[in-house]
Structure 1
Amino acid sequence: MIAQTLSLSLAAVLGLIGLVHLAWAFGATFPYANRQTLARAVVGRRGITQMPSMTASLFVAMCILAAAAWAALLGRLVILPISPWLLMAGGLILAAIFLFRGIIGVMPAFERALPEQPFLTLNRRIYSPLCVLIGLGFLALTFALPNWSWRFSLLG
């Protein structure tokens, strides 16, 4: 029950983030007035004046939506004929990616490389903490997979 709730929550959060990125790929500026202000808030690269290309934005949106789908698979909200080993590996990889992004995002070197405001403040308050929570969510879902005992017995 807890795994399904976590799975649904994680899939919903990632789905919403993915849909916002999809909207940005097609020119939306939500929640800002224009694309330059949006770019300063969500990309944060020094001197940025425009959002990344449509292709780059679509790629990011599809990756985030795929992570949402993987969260649903891990929680058994969606059942597909996927090897438990692949399911587990994907969960661990996604956990590592999100944890890495969350932790690296508050490192001084990262902050020196991306000094643009309001990105820096948003990153400290929202983006990095959210990535850490998502990474921990993927870890929890991966280790909550049923039948862990037989998986470990195959290893040793």
Structure 2
Amino acid sequence: MSMLIAALMFIALLAVSVAHFIWSVGQTWPIRNEKLLAQTVAGFRDIERMPPKMASLAVAIATLLAGILALALADHDSGGFPLTLLGLPLAAVFLVRGALGYTAWWADKTPEPSFRFNDRRVYSPLCLMLGAGFLTLVIMRLL
């Protein structure tokens, strides 16, 4: 069961990683222009351009590493207790980001309509599921 959870998490994190990598090299896929892409994926008030390319590259690397860590957590014989503990901060990061998406504070910071729509429908639920997945993998390793 843990391998199935980790595999599904890896697929989602790999998709996020690939998208951020594409943006880090200056492409706007799957949106037609940079302004609309920035409004859709960043959502900050009056945003006109995507965040710096190095930020997208950092997110691409971080999400890929998170996906690899999920797969490692599914192998109960790998990494020992330190690896198990590493899953907890990742669970916290994703759970906090997911919950943040439903707050009035975050809605005020990210008012772009296309971002708000996608954040409530995709980004925040995905983060909550990833956080729950990391937490589940940690618990399964401890049992």
TM interval, short-chain normalised? over 0.9
Secondary structure, counterpart of 1:32 in structure 2:
coil
Measured after TM superposition, the shift of residue 94 of structure 1 is 0.6
Corresponding residue number in structure 1 for 2:31: 32
How many aligned positions are there?
143
Identity score, percent: 35
Candidates 128, 131, 136, aligned match of 1:135: 131
Measured after TM superposition, the shift of residue 102 of structure 1 is 0.2
Q: For structure 2, which runs of at least 5 residues remain unmatched after alignment?
A: none
Partners of 1:94 and 1:55 lie apart in 2 by: 21
Alignment pair present for 1:86 and 2:82: yes
Report matched runs for 1:39-58 at 5 Å: 39-58=38-57
Candidates 97, 101, 106, aligned match of 2:97: 101
Secondary structure, counterpart of 1:106 in structure 2:
coil
Partners of 1:66 and 1:138 lie apart in 2 by: 13
Look at both structures and tell me which one has the larger radius of gyration over its CA atoms: 1
Alignment pair present for 1:5 and 2:9: no
TM-score by length of 1: 0.87
Partners of 1:76 and 1:12 lie apart in 2 by: 17
Partners of 2:27 and 2:74 lie apart in 1 by: 32
Q: For structure 1, which runs of at least 5 residues remain unmatched after alignment?
A: 150-156
Partners of 1:114 and 1:20 lie apart in 2 by: 20
- Matched letter for residue 116 of structure 2: L
Measured after TM superposition, the shift of residue 116 of structure 1 is 1.2
Deviation >4 Å, runs of 4+: none
